């Protein structure tokens, strides 16, 4: 089955926004056994949308398009869809009724442009959108299902859940897709590949291996697809069992997921709480940790001491210590973490102090310098890095991930409460 996602919008092609819609859609499709073959982003021009449908439709079973459904002149998707399938437009009375209710509720008058949002190609049907004025559109044309969704993320996500997924499951007979992840550390990608090449070459045809390198570690992903879920799971388990001995002590954990999820599960498992004292990461570690549902079970809070003044006042780092060692130093990082353990009353704390750039630090420290410290109030693990080539955003993210990895390392080495 061939599946394509088309995201429409100049802002994507100017690089003014990152297209996260397509990742969400791909994920949700994956859960019901649909693999996406291609994601395409195009400008919102009538001819480009028509051309794209002409090219893709004959070779696709499913096309999901987002964007270009708003009421203004640059939103041309609906007209392009109607022209492509050769259908007149007509008012959908149920959409119009909903629209009237919605506008009344927010005290807006109905005008010509809003009225036209209830216009749909005759051959299509509406996907009712309770969160916005533009309905989604479901069209079946020459054995291809074309689904149009608004580009506003929360409207699109809601429509995927309440309308698109149930309809697709009803329409298609779908296989199961299972992903299995293994995190490997201290095993360079090329050496790892050699060590497991024999195993990889003998994988069954419906299983596929991928290497996902991240700094300092590699994730292996085994992906399988089959109509029989139980058989598929067994098949994957068998292969993982064969693989594990080849990885020796490099196998980090069989937990999958992002660093913040792994950290969350480690803390939960060990029954430990944590707090953060962040300088150069400016709240990013707190944000990542609290992005995990249930994080209030292990996370209490953070002091983001962006200015030196706050390090002295709220964290009570002695002025003399800062003057002696400078603010970006092992000593200050350690004191920040210790102070967080005390002041936020947690089992562990992690701290960062560094220079994200683009300008040098107050004390002349080079852009890209950073110290990380982890402590339980007694032992302290410190580590410094230098990332002169990273952009500000990447530096902040990279240091935040490394800080969480250091906490995982600390828990491993001190695994008793």
| Interacting residues with its own copies between 207 and 266 (CB under 8 A) | 208-213, 221, 223
The DSSP line for 356-372 is: -SSSPPTT-PPTTEEEE
The site map against its own copies for 309-348 (x = CB under 8 A) is xx--xx----------------------------xxx---
Q: Which of residues 42-81 bind its own copies (CB under 8 A)?
A: 42-44, 70-75
User: In this structure, what token pair is assigned to residue 325?
Assistant: 């060692």
Give the shortest CB-123-to-its own copies separation in angstroms: 26
Give the shortest CB-59-to-its own copies separation in angstroms: 11
Q: How far apart are CA 405 and CA 385, in angstroms?
A: 13
Where does this chain touch its own copies (CB under 8 A) — which range of 41-49, 59-67, 83-91, 322-330? 41-49
How far the first Cα of the chain sits from its last, in Å, is 52
Could you say whether residue 27 binds its own copies (CB under 8 A)?
A: yes
Residue from 245, 358, 364, 417 in contact with its own copies (CB under 8 A): 358
Q: Which of residues 111-130 bind its own copies (CB under 8 A)?
A: 111-114, 130
Give the shortest CB-250-to-its own copies separation in angstroms: 14
Residue from 32, 165, 251, 304 in contact with its own copies (CB under 8 A): 304
Find residue 377's DSSP bridge partners.
none
Q: Assign 178 to helix, strand or coil.
A: strand
34: CB partners within 8 A, 6+ apart: 1, 3, 62, 168, 172, 174, 177
110: CB partners within 8 A, 6+ apart: 99, 100, 103
186: CB partners within 8 A, 6+ apart: 217, 250
Could you say whether residue 37 binds its own copies (CB under 8 A)?
A: yes
Q: Which of residues 366-385 bind its own copies (CB under 8 A)?
A: none
Where does this chain touch its own copies (CB under 8 A) — which range of 281-289, 322-330, 378-386, 407-415? 281-289
Q: Which of residues 144-163 bind its own copies (CB under 8 A)?
A: 152-154, 157-158
**CA-closest candidate to residue 43, choices 4, 79, 75:** 75
Where does this chain touch its own copies (CB under 8 A) — which range of 90-98, 260-268, 330-338, 394-402? 394-402
8 Å CB contact between 8 and 151: yes
**Residue 345 or 379: which CB sits closer to its own copies?**
345
Could you say whether residue 11 binds its own copies (CB under 8 A)?
A: yes
**Residue 86 or 358: which CB sits closer to its own copies?**
358
CA distances from 110 to 69, 104, 114, 179 (A): 17, 9, 6, 48
Q: Assign 32 to helix, strand or coil.
A: coil
8 Å CB contact between 109 and 145: no
Could you say whether residue 205 binds its own copies (CB under 8 A)?
A: no
Give the shortest CB-160-to-its own copies separation in angstroms: 11
Could you say whether residue 25 binds its own copies (CB under 8 A)?
A: yes
């Amino acid at each position: 089955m061939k599946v394509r996602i088309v995201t429409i919008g100049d802002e994507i092609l100017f690089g003014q926004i990152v297209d996260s819609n397509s990742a969400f859609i791909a994920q949700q499709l994956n859960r019901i056994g649909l693999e996406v073959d291609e994601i395409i982003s195009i400008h919102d021009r009538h001819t480009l949308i028509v051309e794209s449908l002409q090219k893709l439709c004959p070779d696709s079973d499913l096309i999901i398009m987002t964007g270009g459904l708003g009421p203004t002149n640059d939103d041309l998707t609906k007209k392009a869809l109607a022209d492509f399938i050769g259908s007149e437009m007509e008012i959908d009375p149920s959409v119009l009724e909903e629209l009237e209710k919605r506008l009344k509720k927010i005290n807006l008058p109905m005008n010509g442009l809003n009225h036209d949002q209830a216009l749909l190609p005759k051959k299509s049907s509406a996907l009712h959108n309770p969160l916005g004025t533009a309905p989604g559109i479901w069209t079946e044309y020459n054995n291809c299902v074309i689904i149009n969704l608004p580009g506003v993320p929360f409207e699109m996500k809601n429509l995927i859940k309440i309308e698109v997924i149930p309809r697709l499951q009803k329409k298609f007979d779908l296989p199961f897709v299972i992903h299995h992840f293994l995190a490997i550390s201290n095993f360079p990608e090329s050496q790892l590949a050699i060590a497991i090449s024999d195993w990889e070459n003998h994988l069954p045809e419906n299983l596929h291996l991928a290497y996902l390198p991240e700094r300092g570690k590699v994730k292996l992903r085994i992906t399988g697809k089959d109509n029989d879920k139980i058989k598929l799971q067994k098949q994957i388990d068998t292969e993982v069992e064969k693989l594990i001995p080849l990885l020796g002590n490099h196998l980090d954990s069989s937990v999958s997921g992002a660093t913040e999820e792994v950290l969350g599960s480690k803390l939960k498992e060990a029954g430990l709480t944590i707090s953060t004292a962040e300088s150069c990461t400016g709240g990013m570690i707190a944000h990542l940790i609290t992005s995990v549902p249930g994080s209030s079970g292990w996370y209490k809070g953070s002091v983001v001491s962006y200015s030196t003044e706050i390090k002295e006042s709220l964290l009570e780092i002695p002025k003399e210590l800062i003057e002696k060692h400078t603010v970006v130093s092992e000593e200050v990082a350690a004191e920040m973490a210790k102070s967080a353990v005390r002041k936020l009353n947690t089992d562990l704390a992690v701290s960062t102090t560094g220079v994200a750039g683009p300008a040098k630090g107050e004390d002349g420290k080079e852009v890209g310098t950073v110290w990380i410290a982890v402590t339980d109030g007694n032992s302290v693990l410190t580590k410094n890095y230098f990332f002169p080539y990273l952009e500000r955003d990447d530096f902040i993210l990279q240091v935040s991930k490394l800080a969480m990895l250091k906490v995982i390392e600390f828990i491993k080495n001190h695994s008793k409460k």
